Amino acid sequence: GSERILCPALPGRIMSADEAASLIPNGANVGMSGFTGAGYPKAVPQALARRIRALHERGEKYRIGVWTGASTAPELDGALAEADGVELRLPYQSDPTCRRRINAGEMEYIDIHLSHVAQFVWFGFLGHLDVAVVEVSGVLEDGRLIPSSSVGNNKTWLEQADRVILEVNGWQSERLEGMHDIWYGASRPPRRQPIPILAPGDRIGEPYLRCPPEKVIAVVETHAPDRNSAFTPPGGDSRRIAGHILEFLEHEVGRGRLPPELLPLQSGVGNIANAVLAGLGEGPFENLTAYTEVLQDGMLDLIRCGRLETASATAFSLGPEALADLNANLERYRGHIILRPQETSNHPEVIRRLGVIAMNGLIEADIYGNVNSTHVMGTRIMNGIGGSGDFARNAYLSIFMTPSTAKGGAISAIVPMVSHVDHTEHDVQVIVTEQGLADLRGLSPKQRARLVIENCAHPDYRPALRDYYRRALDGAPGRHTPHLLEEAFGWHLRYGRDGHM
């Protein structure tokens, strides 16, 4: 309610979502809050979608550019894509309707490293930002904003946009106040300062977002929950993948290549990541830390059982039970959690300095260790690169994990040559499937190929991979990374033709 809006300039600008949406002009670039289903505006995008549908029915043109932190929810991406109101979307999405339009060629999409977005806007690389639509959990007397369940690119949207629409969400816990750490020291080259984070728990900024009250053209009050899709309990394959990773980490500790408390963990979202976190809860490791982008259920479990000391991220992404637990016990979690802008949570400098252990999913990997995280069969976008590149490139250890097959075995996740490259052989150190783990560090391409085939590929696909590799070794003009170019995409073509690889 209005007790969350203390700034005297703002109550006069409270209006309905429909009125606020009418202030966004056709062709505008709109920076919206939201990161993996947390902290996105709940009301204005839906009101805008209604307006767009009405305009389109009258034959009027109306489309906007939608910039966010990362993926959002049906109320934002789904609603706007459904109404065909998005000209261009960036930097990451995972909405089915959005995905369908992008792959049908009806919507432009730019898939950007999440750490790049804010600075690309500061540099002027993406054009002008007209409007910011940002969810907050409250407004202080002097106009500073209490962020909600994600920070994402909000600092940049509020700084760069000409006009600001705030959604003050009374559903967000008031006790989120103080959890955030917004660093205003970021600057443009050539006078960039180092980011003074030396440990995941370091606080270097302030708990509030700055926003000049005169920029605020509308305030919309909402009371709606974040999207909180439940994780399925880890299945057999996820557990086996987690088991291989835990065994590997123990081995690395034994070899003196990792300290007993490991190094700060980053994990992508999804069921495999959650299974790894669950495994860490049962494993031998204590005093863990996380420097990651998303805090999911498994991270809260690790904090609750006392194994995870500090978790730094830019957003929550919780299932319904974990969310209820967080909101009920926020005091207990507070001291362990920091939410930062995504240009800080995903910053290469900090990731490299802290020595993060990065664990991310993939769509397919090839025998030489190149990874495709984004495109199914080379052309159809799934979600986007997200933060996986920020972390994989700069990590101490870069681990990629996947079931060895997809679609009931019709697709092998290990292929001769990836049909799209997100992470090159230079950024991929470990590949894990339920079959096993391939440690690619210090190996040449040919040594890697043997290991990936024997340790990671599904037994049904191993003979064909061995056969391809052997013939490539015999027939390729170069014996450094042997390929038969006329066959390299044969598996993908076969899937397109016959429905299986």
Binding site for CoA: residue ranges? 363, 383, 387, 407
Q: Is 407 in the site for ligand 0RQ (CB under 6 A)?
A: yes
Q: Is 293 in the site for ligand 0RQ (CB under 6 A)?
A: yes
Structure tokens at 277: 């976190």
**Contacting residue, 85, 138, 205, 268, with ligand 0RQ by CB under 6 A:** 268
Q: Which is nearer to ligand 0RQ, 97 or 360 (CB)?
A: 360
Given a contact cutoff of 8 angstroms between Cβ atoms, the answer to whether 13 and 219 are in contact is yes
Stretch that binds ligand 0RQ, among 104-112, 147-155, 380-388, 437-445 (CB under 6 A): 380-388
> CB of residue 82 vs ligand 0RQ: minimum separation in angstroms?
20
Return phi, psi of residue 393, to 5°: -65, -35
**Contacting residue, 289, 383, 429, 481, with ligand 0RQ by CB under 6 A:** 383
The count of chain residues that interact with ligand 0RQ, using the rule CB under 6 A, is 27
- Determine the Cα angle at 267 with ends 107 and 241, to 5°: 105
Distance CA 227, CA 36 (A): 9
* Cα of 56 vs its chain's centroid, Å: 32
Instruction: Please state, in angstroms and as integers, the Cα–Cα distance from residue 481 to each residue in 368, 369, 455, 463, 469, following that order.
Output: 8, 11, 19, 19, 10
Q: Which is nearer to ligand 0RQ, 29 or 71 (CB)?
A: 71
> CB of residue 435 vs ligand 0RQ: minimum separation in angstroms?
14
> CB of residue 258 vs ligand 0RQ: minimum separation in angstroms?
21
> CB of residue 391 vs ligand 0RQ: minimum separation in angstroms?
7
The residues annotated as belonging to the active site are 293
Q: Is 270 in the site for ligand 0RQ (CB under 6 A)?
A: yes
Q: Which is nearer to ligand 0RQ, 85 or 154 (CB)?
A: 154
**Contacting residue, 111, 167, 325, 364, with ligand 0RQ by CB under 6 A:** 364
Given a contact cutoff of 8 angstroms between Cβ atoms, the answer to whether 58 and 25 are in contact is no
In DSSP notation, 384-443 reads --TTHHHHHHH-SEEEEE--SEEGGGTEESEESS-SS-SB-GGG--EEEETTEEEE-TT-
Q: Pick from 276, 297, 268, 299: which is nearest to 391 by CA?
A: 268
Instruction: Please state, in angstroms and as integers, the Cα–Cα distance from residue 200 to each residue in 266, 277, 348, following that order.
Output: 11, 18, 14
Query: Which residues on neighbouring strands pair with residue 145, listed in sequence order?
Result: 139, 209
Q: Is 409 in the site for ligand 0RQ (CB under 6 A)?
A: no
**Contacting residue, 32, 126, 363, 428, with ligand 0RQ by CB under 6 A:** 363
> CB of residue 402 vs ligand 0RQ: minimum separation in angstroms?
6
Q: Which is nearer to ligand 0RQ, 364 or 439 (CB)?
A: 364
Report helix, strand or coil for 343. helix
Q: Which residue is nearest to ligand 0RQ (CB)?
A: 386
Stretch that binds ligand 0RQ, among 1-9, 15-23, 95-103, 401-409 (CB under 6 A): 401-409
Stretch that binds ligand 0RQ, among 347-355, 376-384, 445-453, 459-467 (CB under 6 A): 376-384
Q: Which one-letter amino acid corresponds to residue 14?
A: I
Instruction: Please state, in angstroms and as integers, the Cα–Cα distance from residue 435 to each residue in 280, 343, 405, 431, 455, following that order.
Output: 20, 36, 10, 11, 6
Structure tokens at 438: 């391939």
Q: Which residues in this chain contact ligand 0RQ in the complex, by CB under 6 A?
A: 36, 70, 92, 268-270, 272, 293-294, 360-364, 373, 376, 382-383, 385-388, 403, 406-407, 411, 413
